[in-house]
Amino acid sequence: MRLNVCIAAALAALSLPAGAAAGTVFLLDGRGWGHGVGMSQWGAEGYARHGYGYRQILAHYYPHTQIGIAQPRDVRVLLGQGKDSVRIGSSAPFVVVDAIGRKLHMPARAVVVDRRFTLRHLKLRQPLRFEAGAAPLEVDLAGYRGDVVVKAKPDGLMVVNVLPLDRYLRGVVPWEAPTGWHEQTYEAQAVAARSYTLATLKPGQDFDLFSDQRSQMYGGIRAERTETNLAIGATAGQVLVWRDRIIPAYYFSSSGGRTSSIHDAWPRAAQVPYLVSVRDPYDYLSPHHAWPTKVLTAASVASVLKVPSVLDVEVVHNSSGRARAVRVRTPSGWRVFPGAVIRSKFDLGSMDFDLHALALDDPDRALYGSSVKLTGFVRGLGHARLQQLTQAGWVTVRHLRVAPDGRFAVTLRAAASTEFRLAYNGVAGDAVGLQVAPRVLVSADGARLHARVSPALPLQVQRLTHSAWRPVARSRGVFDRTLRPGSYRIAVLGAHGYAPQISQAVSLRGV
């Protein structure tokens, strides 16, 4: 009797949950720069270039507000804190006034205020106010309008610039709006900055404003430009008002096409009708309007987020279309990261981003000539392609048809071991290997051994001797000979493009 045996693959299938694959990559696309609340500066410039005046620009970004007039006043800007010393001087004589009104007249030079200065002037009581004479004061070689107050604190000296509001704005507007912009943009910026300043004053504290992005960028005299000074003068006293109150007119660089409501950006903040999400059609002028696509592997995401491994990543959007949170699927379940955390960890320009996915599952090892099903999923992308690595490089073998849930399946014939990947536009996922083993048919007919290997690869006939398999014959593609009794098997030890394969054992009997 003739016994035919068809040998299946020796490796078990690797089962991965949906969304997990060695070939998974995430494509991060985003837009804009900044927190997104209030006026987009690039969008405002776009409106100005399209003929809109500053009042129209402000009405668009701060709906339900009106222009009001505020009385002039001084503001206090923190220039430094925790300092061991500070150098203050002027090109003209100036005056130091202490807390009880004592005055110390200083010549046109610089003095270093530190512990030794305090010991030399024991009668002067803190804080000390440096008042300019005929020329502005300099603090550590940078010029500032108004006065400078130095106060000793437990961690060192605090230095505060005290000056009229619009003199302060002269050092803000040019550092917040680039050179060469439209005058209407500068005027809108001046009104927004003035409104923000007056709405965020802190009378009970040592200073009102930081000199950096925590409040507004402030450069003092070195920042001033003629065109921005004119805009500040043209809008003197003008502020944005809602219900007779000056509003904190937040602004930022670039929206990517739509601003954010204050509650979406900062969930603890109360929603107000003048800080809502609005369309920003002219923000396309911004270099940050749309970011270059960033490709993230599952391994890189896991490394940044300090999780053991990542199977999938999804963005949860808020009502302004920005990332409220990001859900990360790990082997132990879903973890949720706030959008602000993801922005910080991946150094993103804003929270207006999306994560698309290309995932190709690891296929099972296949037999030569069999049908292989390649599966995976595509999320948030258009026409993705399945590519195969050939001698000519990566070649597209299928344009994918994706189901509503993002899954796809492609059936191909297993001809040789190869690699596949998914591609979208100019971006490709990691390669996934397909191992193809030769198909081995072996049978025993009395003392005769019959074997066929497809494709016709070198084969080795092995005989079981003293619990070890030892080679007794070799051939290529086909073997058909009479052998002495015993247990035999066929081994294909591997060849270029094919995985090793060993048949089951068959027994030969004597004639």
pLDDT in tens, 157-171: 999 999 999 999 999
H or E segment and range at residue 240: strand 238-242
Phi/psi class of residue 336: alpha, beta or left (left: φ > 0; alpha: ψ in -120 to 50)?
A: beta
State mean pLDDT over 253-270: 96
Outline where 289-426 has alpha helix (H).
298-305, 339-345
Whether omega for the bond prior to residue 455 falls within 30 degrees of 0, making it cis, is yes
H or E segment and range at residue 399: strand 393-399
State mean pLDDT over 282-294: 95
> Looking at the predicted structure, is the pLDDT value of residue 242 above 50?
yes
Tokens 């060192």, residue?
156
First to last CA, the chain: 13
Which SS3 state, helix, strand or coil, does residue 27 take?
strand
Dist CA 193 CA 203 (whole Å): 18
> Looking at the predicted structure, is the pLDDT value of residue 3 above 90?
no
Q: How many domains does the chain have?
A: 4
Which of 436, 459, 488 finishes a domain? 436
Dist CA 286 CA 253 (whole Å): 8
Strands 86-90 and 110-113: antiparallel
For residue 412, the enclosing domain spans: 1-31+291-436
Do both 125 and 233 map to the same domain? yes
Outline where 360-460 has alpha helix (H).
none
Dist CA 446 CA 460 (whole Å): 20
Do both 476 and 394 map to the same domain? no
State mean pLDDT over 29-38: 97
**With contact defined as beta carbons under 8 Å apart, do 139 and 130 qualify?**
no
Do both 186 and 109 map to the same domain? yes
> Looking at the predicted structure, is the pLDDT value of residue 22 above 70?
no
Do both 1 and 116 map to the same domain? no
pTM of the model: 0.81
What the block records as the tokens of 316 is 């949860």
The pLDDT assigned to 511 comes to 61
CATH of the domain at 488: 2.60.40.10
**With contact defined as beta carbons under 8 Å apart, do 278 and 63 qualify?**
yes
Do both 381 and 480 map to the same domain? no
> Looking at the predicted structure, is the pLDDT value of residue 7 above 60?
no
Do both 128 and 208 map to the same domain? yes
Distance of alpha carbon 312 from the chain centroid: 16
pLDDT digits (tens, 9 = 90+) for 53-71: 999 999 999 999 999 999 9
pLDDT digits (tens, 9 = 90+) for 331-340: 999 999 999 9
Which SS3 state, helix, strand or coil, does residue 273 take?
coil
State mean pLDDT over 420-448: 92
Outline where 365-412 has alpha helix (H).
none
State mean pLDDT over 126-144: 96
State mean pLDDT over 197-207: 96
> Looking at the predicted structure, is the pLDDT value of residue 236 above 90?
yes
